[in-house]
Amino acid sequence: MDTEPLTKLDRSYSTVMRIEGLLTLVPLLIAGLVLYATSVIPAWVPGVVLALAALVLVFYLPTKRFRSRGYHMSDDRLRVVKGVMFHADTVVPFSRVQHLDVEQNPLERMFGIARLILHTAGTHNASVTLPGLAHDNAITMREAIRAHVKRESL
Amino acid sequence: MHEWLRVNPLSMAVQMLRTLGSAIVPAAVVIFGAGTQDSEKFAEIAPWIIPILVLIIGFNLLGTWLGWVRLRYRVGEADVRVEQGILSRQARSVPYERIQDVSLEQKLIPRLLGLVEVKFETGAGGKEELKLSYVSEAEGEKLRETVRALVEGEMTRPAVPAEGEEVPTAPEPAGEMLFAMDTRRLFLFGLFNFSLVVFAVLIGALQQFEFLLPFDLWDYLADLIKDDRISEAGDALAGYTLVAQIAAIAYAVFAVVVVGMASGVVRTFVQDWEFRLDRTPKGFRRRRGLLTKTDVVMPVHRVQALVLKTGVIRRRFGWYGLSFISLAQDAGSANHEVAPFAKMAEIAPIVREAGFSLPDEDTDWRRASADFYFDRAVLQALVPGTAALVLIVLGYTLVSLLLAGLAAVLMVGEYFLWRFVRHALDPQQVMSRIGWLAPRWKIANRVKLHSVEIAQGPLARWRGYCTLRFGLAGGRLAFRGLRLEDARAMRAAVLDSIAVVDFAHLPR
| DSSP conformation letters of B161-181 | PPTTPPPP-PPPP--EEEEE-
In angstroms, the CA B190 to CA B195 distance is 9
Instruction: Render pLDDT for B91-121 as a digit per residue (tens, 0 to 9).
Output: 777 777 777 778 888 888 888 888 888 888 7
Mean pLDDT of B248-256: 86
Helical (H) or strand (E) element with B440: strand B440-445
Q: Is the peptide bond before B251 cis (omega within 30 degrees of 0)?
A: no
CB A1 to CB B495 under 8 A?
Answer: yes
Would you call B492 an interface residue with chain A, using a CB distance cutoff of 8 Å? yes
Would you call A87 an interface residue with chain B, using a CB distance cutoff of 8 Å? yes
Q: Is residue B149 helix, strand or coil?
A: helix
Side-chain half-sphere of B375: how many Cα atoms within 13 Å?
Answer: 17
Confidence of residue B306 (pLDDT cuts 50, 70, 90): very high
Q: Suggest the residue from B335, B485, B502, B505 to mutate for an interface test with chain A (most A CBs closer than 10 A).
A: B502
SS (H, E, C) B68-124: HHCCEEEECCCEEEEEECCCCCEEEEEEHHHCCEEEEEECHHHHHCCEEEEEEECCC
Given phi > 0 = left and psi -120 to 50 = alpha, else beta, which region is B366?
beta
Would you call B191 an interface residue with chain A, using a CB distance cutoff of 8 Å? no
Of B449, B476, B499, the CB nearest to A76: B499
pLDDT score of B433: 92
Strands A87-93 and B449-456 come out as antiparallel
Would you call B464 an interface residue with chain A, using a CB distance cutoff of 8 Å? no
Q: Is residue B307 helix, strand or coil?
A: strand
Structural contact between residues A106 and A60, judged by C-beta atoms closer than 8 angstroms: no
B479 CB-near residues (< 8 Å, 6+ apart): B368, B423, B432, B467, B468, B469, B487, B490
pLDDT score of B408: 93
Q: Is residue B242 helix, strand or coil?
A: helix
Mean pLDDT of B15-21: 79
Residues of B in contact with A90 (CB under 8 A): 451-454
Residues of B in contact with A153 (CB under 8 A): 502-505
Residue B58 identity? G
Would you call B473 an interface residue with chain A, using a CB distance cutoff of 8 Å? yes
CB B452 to CB A90 under 8 A?
Answer: yes
Mean pLDDT of B415-439: 90
Mean pLDDT of B219-236: 66
How close is the nearest chain A Cα to the Cα of B495, in Å? 7
In angstroms, the CA A46 to CA A41 distance is 8
Confidence of residue B350 (pLDDT cuts 50, 70, 90): very high
Structural contact between residues B431 and B439, judged by C-beta atoms closer than 8 angstroms: no
The pTM of the full predicted model, rounded to 2 decimals, is 0.72
Confidence of residue B161 (pLDDT cuts 50, 70, 90): very low
Q: Is residue A39 helix, strand or coil?
A: coil
Structural contact between residues B113 and B318, judged by C-beta atoms closer than 8 angstroms: no
CB A123 to CB B476 under 8 A?
Answer: yes
Question: A with B: how many residue pairs have Cβ under 8 Å apart?
Answer: 103
Would you call A149 an interface residue with chain B, using a CB distance cutoff of 8 Å? yes
Residues of B in contact with A148 (CB under 8 A): none
pLDDT score of B230: 62
In angstroms, the CA B84 to CA B71 distance is 4
Would you call B450 an interface residue with chain A, using a CB distance cutoff of 8 Å? yes
Of B453, B478, B502, the CB nearest to A89: B453
Nearest one of B314, B325, B330 to B439, comparing CA atoms = B314
Side-chain half-sphere of A6: how many Cα atoms within 13 Å?
Answer: 18
Confidence of residue B85 (pLDDT cuts 50, 70, 90): confident
Residues of A in contact with B505 (CB under 8 A): 152-153
Structural contact between residues B18 and B113, judged by C-beta atoms closer than 8 angstroms: no
CB A85 to CB B458 under 8 A?
Answer: yes
CB B452 to CB A91 under 8 A?
Answer: yes
Residues of A in contact with B492 (CB under 8 A): 1-2
Distances (CA, A) of B273 to B210, B286, B288: 34, 12, 6
Confidence of residue B234 (pLDDT cuts 50, 70, 90): low
Confidence of residue B405 (pLDDT cuts 50, 70, 90): very high
What strands, in cross-sheet order, belong to the sheet with B130-136?
A: B130-136, B115-121, B101-106, B293-298, B283-288, B276-280, B176-180
CB B495 to CB A91 under 8 A?
Answer: yes
Residues of A in contact with B463 (CB under 8 A): none
Q: What is the dihedral of CA B472, B478, B482, B488, to 10 degrees?
A: 20
Does the pLDDT value for residue B157 go beyond 80? no
CB A88 to CB B453 under 8 A?
Answer: yes
CB A124 to CB B469 under 8 A?
Answer: yes
Structural contact between residues B412 and B423, judged by C-beta atoms closer than 8 angstroms: no
Q: Is residue B211 helix, strand or coil?
A: helix
The nearest alpha carbon in chain A to B495 belongs to A93
CB B503 to CB A97 under 8 A?
Answer: yes
The nearest alpha carbon in chain A to B124 belongs to A121
Would you call A85 an interface residue with chain B, using a CB distance cutoff of 8 Å? yes
CA B392 to chain centre: 47
pLDDT score of B465: 93
Confidence of residue B229 (pLDDT cuts 50, 70, 90): low
Q: Suggest the residue from A71, A77, A85, A124 to mutate for an interface test with chain B (most B CBs closer than 10 A).
A: A124
Side-chain half-sphere of B172: how many Cα atoms within 13 Å?
Answer: 23
Distances (CA, A) of B128 to A131, A153, B94, B119, B211: 32, 30, 12, 10, 38
The nearest alpha carbon in chain B to A3 belongs to B488
pLDDT score of B76: 80
Q: Is residue A11 helix, strand or coil?
A: coil
Cα maximum dimension of chain B: 91
Confidence of residue B168 (pLDDT cuts 50, 70, 90): very low
Instruction: Render pLDDT for B56-71 as a digit per residue (tens, 0 to 9).
Output: 888 888 888 888 888 8
Does the pLDDT value for residue B251 go beyond 60? yes
Q: Suggest the residue from B477, B496, B503 to mutate for an interface test with chain A (most A CBs closer than 10 A).
A: B503
Residues of B in contact with A89 (CB under 8 A): 453-455
Backbone φ and ψ for B169, nearest 5 degrees, come out as -125, 50
pLDDT score of B160: 39
Task: Let me know the angle formed at the C-alpha of A12 by A6 and A14, rounded to the nearest 5 degrees.
Answer: 70
Confidence of residue B37 (pLDDT cuts 50, 70, 90): low
pLDDT score of B163: 38
State ipTM: 0.86
Of A83, A87, A121, the CB nearest to B473: A121
pLDDT score of A61: 92
Residues of B in contact with A122 (CB under 8 A): 449-451, 470-473
CB B492 to CB A1 under 8 A?
Answer: yes
